[in-house]
Amino acid sequence: YHTSLDNLDLISAEGLEGAYNIFKQCIFLLEHNLKYKTKVLCEPQLGKRGLYPTLSTKESGKSVRDMMDLITYADGKHDLIDIANIVGVSAIKLIPIVYKLLEADLIEECD
pLDDT (0 to 100) of residue 35: 96
Residue 20 half-sphere exposure toward CB, CA atoms < 13 A: 7
List of E strands, the chain: 35-38, 75-79, 107-110
Residue 81: name the closest of 64, 72, 93, 67 by CA: 93
pTM exceeds cut of 0.85: no
Chain segment 8-22, per-residue pLDDT in tens: 777 777 888 999 999
Question: Is 2 a residue whose pLDDT tops 90?
Answer: no
> DSSP letters along 32-50, please?
H--EEEE--SS---SGGGT
Chain segment 34-75, per-residue pLDDT in tens: 999 999 887 777 777 877 777 777 777 788 889 999 999 999
pLDDT (0 to 100) of residue 86: 96
Domain ranges of the chain: 13-110
pLDDT (0 to 100) of residue 89: 94
